[in-house]
Amino acid sequence: MEDLNMNKIMSLLGPAGTLSHEAFQFLRKNVPNQFGEPVFIQTISKAVELLKLRMVSYALVPVENSTVGLVSETLELLRSDFYEGDYRCLFAEALVEIPVSYCLRAIEGTNMAQVKVVYSKRETLLQCKRTLWELLGYEVCFVETQSTAEAVTRLQDGGQAALVSENFPTNFSLLARGVEDVKANATKFYLLSVVPPDNRPWRDNTRMSLLYTLPHEVGALHKVTEVLNTFGWNINTIHSLATGSPGDYLFFMECESTIMGVDSQNTLRPRKTHFESVHQNLSRFVNDLWVLGSMRTYKKPR
């Protein structure tokens, strides 16, 4: 990420202490002197909107959770950008993976038996639903909010609790911690920027993200996976997204190179010829191909 400009402003879900903020802090620690202070936004859509309007230089958005899968709001934004035709401005420059642990917060004096309503984001509730049922009973009501920050503001009485990350800054009392269903739970974020489709520095990193459509023929998807296998790319994620037309799907794929070489700076990278060959060969078998991102991975240890 040497090409990132100094002190660029980044939009992300806030306020301070959210999982997005933790991802930002971890990225800034690993890429020092590159980013200014974050701009905290209430929704993913608004964070990306500010980026498209060039009011910020980057948007850091959650894209996938290891327990519940893709973040629907982010993928819908990418899908919409794909179908804007020649615009397709969004480009993922880095992937940040953060381990996730959640806790229940409530008004002081609340006990577990009182809680009948739990507020949080949809994805957060899905990651903890089984554990919350065990703690609170199957009668508990889950209410979705736009952010975990909003969940805390909804607390009015002892019958309510908010589900937030363990690092979330709040004075509300702790009812329970480690309430995620899967203890190896983690969330991936994309660092998005705006880069013209014909000017993307996507050949320099070890992981790439693709969006593409396929022809209606037997073995179409198999041809894509065969190309990747031939050139030493391992598929980490693949999902099909509805397009609105019956039988048509948009495929989202993230893959990582397994064939590496050392560049002039003694940095381990995929060999350039493999990137170019993969792109050329994939273009033969798909109807429409968008290289959404070329990313270095920053993974926070537990």
pLDDT for residue 267 is more than 70: no
pLDDT in tens, 151-169: 999 999 889 999 998 888 8
Architecture of domain 8-99+186-299: 3-Layer(aba) Sandwich (3.40)
Determine the pLDDT at residue 270: 56
User: What is the homologous superfamily of the domain 102-177 according to CATH?
Assistant: Periplasmic binding protein-like II (3.40.190.10)
Residue range 224-238: mean pLDDT, rounded: 90
Rounded Cα–Cα distance for residues 123 and 110 (Å): 25
Residue range 130-138: mean pLDDT, rounded: 96
Determine the pLDDT at residue 85: 52
Residues 6 or more apart in contact with residue 241 via CB below 8 angstroms: 75, 79, 249, 250, 251, 252
Rounded Cα–Cα distance for residues 103 and 275 (Å): 43
Determine the pLDDT at residue 3: 43
Q: Which residue, 287, 184, 179, is CA-closest to 243?
A: 287
| The length of the chain, given as a count of residues | 302
Local confidence band at 28 (pLDDT 50, 70, 90 cut-offs): very high
- At residue 27, φ and ψ (nearest 5 deg) are -65, -45
pLDDT in tens, 73-125: 898 888 888 776 545 788 898 999 999 999 999 999 999 999 999 999 888 99
Determine the pLDDT at residue 12: 95
Residues 181, 183, 185: CA angle, nearest 5 degrees: 85
Host H or E run for residue 194: strand 186-194
Q: Same fold for the domain at 8-99+186-299 and the one at 102-177? A: yes
Q: Which residue, 70, 178, 177, is CA-closest to 123?
A: 70
Q: Would you list the domain boundaries of the chain?
A: 8-99+186-299, 102-177
Residue range 254-274: mean pLDDT, rounded: 66
- State the average pLDDT for the chain: 86
